[in-house]
Chains A and B, each alone.
Chain A
Amino acid sequence: MSNEILPLSVVAKRLEHCSGYEFQCILRTLKSPKYVNQQLLKSDLSVLIAKLLKLLRSNDDYHVWKGCHVAAVLCSYNPVVLSSHADGLLHVIYSKVEQKAQYYSSTVGTPQGKVTLINLVRTIGILMDLVRGKPALTREALTPKLGAIIPTLVSLSQFEPQLCLPIIKKLLLRSTTTFRPHINKFRAVLLNLLLKDYHHFDKSTRRLISDCFAYLHLIKQNVQAKDDNQSHHKSFQDDNWRMGLLSILFQFKPVISLCNELLDFNADSDMSKLVESLPKPPSGTNSFEEIFPSLSVDMNSPMTLWDIVERLSTLVDLTISFISVPTPYAIRVPLGGIISVCETMLALTTTYLPLQRGLRRDAELTSTINDIFPQIQWQAIRMLNHLTGIYGKCVLAHLPSLIASVESFIPLKHGSMTVDLDRIQALRGAFVDVFELAATWISYMGHSFDETTFFTKLVEVSLCLTDDINPLNDMFVVLNRNSRKQAQTKKQKNASKSYTGSMSDLYSHPKSFVCRSSLRVFNAVNKFLITICSFVRLPSNQQIKVIKNAIIIAVKQKAELGYIPKSFINLLRTLVLYPGNERVTILPIAVTLLKDCGDDVFNAICNPRLPMGAVQIVEETQALGADLNSATIQYPEPSSPQTLESSEHAEVDVNKGSELEHSMKCDVQEDIQMTEEETKATGIVTVDKITTDTTKIFKKRVIESEESNEHPAAKQLKISEPEEVTNTVKEVILETDLPASTSYQKGGPEDGDEDDDSEFEIPAIELSEDEDD
């Protein structure tokens, strides 16, 4: 960024007519902190704001769109503008929104109009977020306008829930009191959305709707007159919230009881008990409202049975919102009630409960019944997932019964305990949630887990889900059975040919019709398998399947993508670190697979090495002869004072120094330099006793040609083990007087002064200066 900034007058001039990339450049320029200047406020900034307001008031959608972006950028990056002009900008933008919302149908008739509306609403949201939290600004700019903004947004939310509900949700949470007058209207809008259009929206919008419905209960409605006789009872802050949550929970029982028309609950006594244990409103009270009308289900049109699933799904979403959204006060959650609802929904399965006797057994009804109950079970699993994720180990007390309930979700073959892998593919999405739930439970329980049948079944399911789906498998089997047809007439044959299209590819290229498993499924499965293998000792045949699967798919992914995805690397690591009952780990295979990119864990296993800076003792053997004492090299601790005199370790006293290389001497000097300058232990050798003249020892070394050769030796010095020491041994040996003096006499002190490389030098006494004096 340059020090000179673009004058705001220029920006203001260009603002109206710029477009495209120029507009983007202007927006980037306006981010500059150089414009945060109160002195500019009365001059350039005011011109710019005037231009901006003109754009916002314009009838041209494009100008309004530009104005929204400029307003958002200016207020976000310029506190001066925000503090001074937020009020005005908010007013103008809100007026525009109101105008657009009033004529909504004509506004969204054109795509430009729709985009402009979206930008206006988003800009209001951004401005409100920026203003919120600043007391004076909130008081002066935001709060007075909320009374007008909220009803507009509430009306608009029935047409654009995805756009308006995020802002309304924040307003409900942060400006609860201000929202109070509009609560009824908003409630009506939300109920309309819940009852009529809920499942038309995408997942995020549905979540917004249910969150906003939960937040309605932050505001107390129908405040009853306080009874003096009950005034001694403490009232909780979350009374209203709890009433709302219980209202939702009480609506599960009637819907589940409806399923008694399809499944015979009386065949299983436990089922009857579960249904009785469902939360129900206390008799004689009317304080719990019923949000949803009664369901209308007709056995003669089996498609109406799906309304049961729809209703339960909505109720589960609302419950999840009530227990998961942040609240300004603590809430009391009826965990037992929610868990009993989940267990009851999970018990609704045709595997363990027979169909009602009176039901007619036609294909449409039976297949619909077989399809709806797994979906009901899935809703329960979703709720358990959120419950476990938020309340963590609070559900541990219910874990044994929950595991048994979730196990009933796994489809089994008729009359046996083996998993029906054919029906697994249809429930792919549900099983991803089951894996997540199981992985969370295992991580909570750790290794104290007796239950293994559930997890072994899940492992089988997970391995099945990693297979590619070949929709043609069944077709060829069916074709074989139908091959014995009577001869058709030529006309019939021609007619059948015209309907079949070109079927030859099915036979010649069946592999091109295969649906590959996505990376998302692989990641979910791998995460589950990683947790399972870490905490549970699988039977050997399952462990073998997991290992084989991991290796084969990792190789396939490497061939297709060019790399092995992270989840597979983690799975391979886990399989190596937790081999289970295997006699040998797959370490060589894993290392080979990850040869290209390498892996830290496998490197540490294959090449174990001590960390640097460890204390090591090198003991010299008798290879050097009797003259050499055992040398002790010890690296000082960082806190110890680093002086030569304070060192306590014996040096190697060498009498026959001529046999040793000067490089050792050089290393000593260098190391001692480091010792005095740095406090951390970097493998510096300390010398205890100096037999020679220290001044000459600490001269800068003359022999520099050997330095480069000796650095590896120095490094070896630091991590060497007590081994045979030869003449080129890695030990610190002080040289004797003679070699040192001879080497230094050649150099002389003047030469030492002229060398530039040394950082440290204790100069010898300079006789020349004394002589001058």
Chain B
Amino acid sequence: MAKKKTLKQQDFQKKKLKVGKAKAKPSNLTDTSFVARTISLPNQSKINTNNSGTRDSTRTEEEVLKRISLCRHHSAVTRKETLVYFKQIIPKVINSKCITQMLSGCFPLICDEDMHVRIALLELLEEIGEHDENVLKLHSRAFVLFINSGMTHITPSVQRDSGKFLNCAIKYCGDEIVRSAWIKILRGMFGVLGWSLEKKSSKKTVSMGINSASVVNMNSSKAQKARDINLEALLNFVKCGCLEETTENASVNDDNQFIFDKYMLPEFSQPYQHLKLFTKEFISGSTIKGSPVTSTSTLETLSGISFQDYPARRKVLIEHFYEKIMEHLQSLIADGGECGKKANAFKGTLERIRLVDLEA
């Protein structure tokens, strides 16, 4: 009996901890410890790429591919240096496969918050365009995407600089851009310039609220300079989209050639992209039953349509944008200065476009 009691009591007795010794582990303890091991391969990139010899071009491409990740480096200086490096090796890699990856990595820098990075990117794009503008034409879709992203960016400086990129795009791949993103770019530039697209419900009321676009339009020299550039970009865009280049020696033979060319192999890439045969389009809010028809909803519907010919683009410009642009140009002309001159030129261009449309 005493032994049994002792055993029972032992179960409930608290065992004393001993100094210098660890606490006794319970008998039902499960050991969950593990050991993790890692292997580091500092030369992994060399394994991925083809070791097809020691050609310079291959090494250059590899170098480019390695540096693309530096475009997302946290340091602006690194990003800028990467872009400068890319600019230097453009002549070597312009016809290589890595150009696509390079541009995919660089385009997001249109929305980079550092001014120097954006400047370097612009120089890079100019360099690419100088060497081979077809490269930019091929990548126009992504280019427009990031320009648009820049135009609607929350940071004012990014928004201000989007006009420069637009100028660059118009210079080298203007035709592709006006066909695929006519309404989108126009709406974006309206936002950049701080112009409103909504119809005024009443002329007596004036909005005192400050919207994000109007921040761009502050009266600082930087802002004014940016406004000049953006206005010029918009003007170039409108010219490119609405005014055809007619040669002096156009003849009947050229017309026939123009007709025959439609049946030949196209000289431009992705000839049926505008048909959107394989894209799924979402139903826009304006097409839902019961929703009111506003100018914005109409423009949203039109944003999804590509305008392939000059008359269609002119018509949309005159129908939806002409009056608003003229309104704002009047005030800019009245202000005078460099901006006033450009606004005047813009006004003349718009009137010319209207005349051409009426004649057509």
Report A's interface with B, CB cutoff 8 A.
Answer: 413, 415-416, 418, 421-422, 473-474, 477, 539-541, 543-544, 547-548, 551-552, 579, 581-587, 589, 605
Q: Which residues of B contact A551 (CB under 8 A)?
A: 275, 277
Highest count of chain B CB atoms <10 Å: which of A421, A544, A583, A587: A583
Cα distance, A540 to B290, chains bound together (Å): 29
Cα distance, A474 to B290, chains bound together (Å): 10
Q: Which residues of B contact A477 (CB under 8 A)?
A: 288-290
Closest chain-A Cβ to B113's Cβ sits at a distance in Å of: 37
User: What are 12 A-B contacts with C-beta separation under 8 Å?
Assistant: A473-B289, A477-B290, A539-B309, A540-B311, A541-B307, A541-B308, A544-B305, A544-B306, A583-B266, A583-B268, A584-B262, A585-B262
Given A477-B288, A581-B308, A605-B263, A415:B293 Cβ within 8 A? yes
Q: Which residues of A contact B277 (CB under 8 A)?
A: 548, 551-552
Q: Which residues of B contact A585 (CB under 8 A)?
A: 262-263
Cα distance, A484 to B272, chains bound together (Å): 47
> Closest B-chain residue to A421, C-beta based?
B287
Cα distance, A415 to B295, chains bound together (Å): 12
Q: Which residues of B contact A579 (CB under 8 A)?
A: 262
> Closest B-chain residue to A539, C-beta based?
B312
The answer to whether B315 touches A539 (Cβ under 8 A) is yes
The answer to whether B309 touches A581 (Cβ under 8 A) is yes
Highest count of chain B CB atoms <10 Å: which of A415, A477, A584, A589: A584
Q: Which residues of A contact B289 (CB under 8 A)?
A: 422, 473-474, 477
Q: Which residues of B contact A543 (CB under 8 A)?
A: 308
Q: Which are the 8 A-B pairs with shortest beta-carbon distances?
A: A581-B309, A540-B308, A540-B309, A584-B266, A541-B305, A584-B271, A416-B293, A539-B312
Closest chain-A Cβ to B286's Cβ sits at a distance in Å of: 9
The answer to whether B312 touches A541 (Cβ under 8 A) is yes
Closest chain-B Cβ to A158's Cβ sits at a distance in Å of: 49
Closest chain-B Cβ to A172's Cβ sits at a distance in Å of: 52
Q: Which residues of A contact B262 (CB under 8 A)?
A: 579, 582-585
Cα distance, A413 to B272, chains bound together (Å): 32
Cα distance, A326 to B271, chains bound together (Å): 54
> Closest A-chain residue to B288, C-beta based?
A477
Closest chain-B Cβ to A608's Cβ sits at a distance in Å of: 10
Cα distance, A122 to B307, chains bound together (Å): 62
The answer to whether B293 touches A583 (Cβ under 8 A) is no
Cα distance, A415 to B294, chains bound together (Å): 10
Closest chain-A Cβ to B288's Cβ sits at a distance in Å of: 7
The answer to whether A548 touches B276 (Cβ under 8 A) is yes
Given A418-B293, A477-B288, A477-B289, A582:B263 Cβ within 8 A? no
> Closest B-chain residue to A473, C-beta based?
B289
The answer to whether A587 touches B305 (Cβ under 8 A) is no
Q: Which residues of B contact A581 (CB under 8 A)?
A: 308-309, 311-312
Query: Is the CB of B104 closer than 8 A to any CB of chain A?
Result: no
Cα distance, A477 to B289, chains bound together (Å): 9
The answer to whether A539 touches B293 (Cβ under 8 A) is no
Closest chain-A Cβ to B280's Cβ sits at a distance in Å of: 12
Closest chain-A Cβ to B253's Cβ sits at a distance in Å of: 19
Cα distance, A413 to B292, chains bound together (Å): 9
Query: Is the CB of B298 closer than 8 A to any CB of chain A?
Result: yes
The answer to whether B293 touches A544 (Cβ under 8 A) is no
Cα distance, A143 to B296, chains bound together (Å): 77
> Closest A-chain residue to B305, C-beta based?
A541
> Closest A-chain residue to B286, C-beta based?
A418
Cα distance, A587 to B272, chains bound together (Å): 11
Closest chain-A Cβ to B107's Cβ sits at a distance in Å of: 26
Q: Which residues of A contact B305 (CB under 8 A)?
A: 541, 544
Partner of A541, one of B266, B272, B306: B306
Cα distance, A651 to B114, chains bound together (Å): 84
Given A418-B293, A474-B289, A539-B309, A583:B263 Cβ within 8 A? no
Closest chain-B Cβ to A551's Cβ sits at a distance in Å of: 6
Q: Which residues of A contact B222 (CB under 8 A)?
A: none
Q: Which residues of A contact B271 (CB under 8 A)?
A: 583-584
The answer to whether A586 touches B309 (Cβ under 8 A) is no
Q: Which residues of A contact B263 (CB under 8 A)?
A: 585, 587, 605
The answer to whether B275 touches A548 (Cβ under 8 A) is yes
Tell me which residues from 100 to 152 in chain B have a Cβ below 8 Å from any Cβ of chain A. none
Q: Apart from A540-B311, A584-B262, what are 17 other A-B pairs with CB-CB below 8 Å?
A: A418-B293, A418-B298, A477-B289, A539-B311, A540-B306, A540-B312, A541-B307, A541-B312, A552-B277, A579-B262, A581-B309, A581-B312, A583-B262, A583-B268, A583-B308, A584-B271, A584-B272
Query: Is the CB of B352 closer than 8 A to any CB of chain A?
Result: no
Closest chain-A Cβ to B202's Cβ sits at a distance in Å of: 17
Cα distance, A586 to B287, chains bound together (Å): 29
Query: Is the CB of B274 closer than 8 A to any CB of chain A?
Result: yes
Q: Mark B292-320, 1 if CB is under 8 A from A, else 0.
A: 01000010000001111101100100000
Cα distance, A685 to B290, chains bound together (Å): 79
> Closest B-chain residue to A416, C-beta based?
B293
Closest chain-B Cβ to A79's Cβ sits at a distance in Å of: 60
Closest chain-B Cβ to A477's Cβ sits at a distance in Å of: 7
Given A540-B312, A581-B308, A547:B275 Cβ within 8 A? yes
Q: Which residues of B contact A539 (CB under 8 A)?
A: 309, 311-312, 315
Cα distance, A518 to B31, chains bound together (Å): 72
> Closest A-chain residue to B175, C-beta based?
A583
Q: Which residues of A contact B266 (CB under 8 A)?
A: 583-584
The answer to whether B298 touches A544 (Cβ under 8 A) is no
Q: Which residues of B contact A413 (CB under 8 A)?
A: 293
Cα distance, A387 to B277, chains bound together (Å): 41
Cα distance, A582 to B289, chains bound together (Å): 33
Cα distance, A421 to B286, chains bound together (Å): 12
> Closest B-chain residue to A577, C-beta based?
B263
Q: Which residues of B contact A544 (CB under 8 A)?
A: 274-275, 305-306, 308
Q: Which residues of B contact A421 (CB under 8 A)?
A: 287
Cα distance, A605 to B262, chains bound together (Å): 12
Closest chain-A Cβ to B194's Cβ sits at a distance in Å of: 27
> Closest A-chain residue to B311, C-beta based?
A539
Cα distance, A552 to B281, chains bound together (Å): 14
Q: Which residues of A contact B308 (CB under 8 A)?
A: 540-541, 543-544, 581-583
Cα distance, A382 to B275, chains bound together (Å): 36
Cα distance, A192 to B339, chains bound together (Å): 82
Closest chain-B Cβ to A475's Cβ sits at a distance in Å of: 11
Cα distance, A629 to B2, chains bound together (Å): 140
Cα distance, A229 to B287, chains bound together (Å): 71
Q: Which residues of A contact B298 (CB under 8 A)?
A: 416, 418
> Closest B-chain residue to A605, C-beta based?
B263
Cα distance, A547 to B277, chains bound together (Å): 10
Closest chain-B Cβ to A558's Cβ sits at a distance in Å of: 15
Cα distance, A579 to B258, chains bound together (Å): 12
Closest chain-A Cβ to B193's Cβ sits at a distance in Å of: 26
Closest chain-A Cβ to B179's Cβ sits at a distance in Å of: 9
Q: Which residues of A contact B306 (CB under 8 A)?
A: 540-541, 544
Q: Which residues of B contact A587 (CB under 8 A)?
A: 263
Q: Which residues of B contact A416 (CB under 8 A)?
A: 293, 298
> Closest B-chain residue to A545, C-beta based?
B305
> Closest B-chain residue to A415, C-beta based?
B293
Cα distance, A422 to B290, chains bound together (Å): 10
Cα distance, A741 to B272, chains bound together (Å): 67
Cα distance, A539 to B308, chains bound together (Å): 9
Closest chain-B Cβ to A303's Cβ sits at a distance in Å of: 26
Cα distance, A584 to B258, chains bound together (Å): 10
Q: Mark B251-273, 1 if CB is under 8 A from A, else 0.
A: 00000000001110010100110
Closest chain-B Cβ to A20's Cβ sits at a distance in Å of: 57
Cα distance, A678 to B263, chains bound together (Å): 41
Closest chain-A Cβ to B169's Cβ sits at a distance in Å of: 20
The answer to whether B312 touches A589 (Cβ under 8 A) is no
Cα distance, A586 to B311, chains bound together (Å): 21
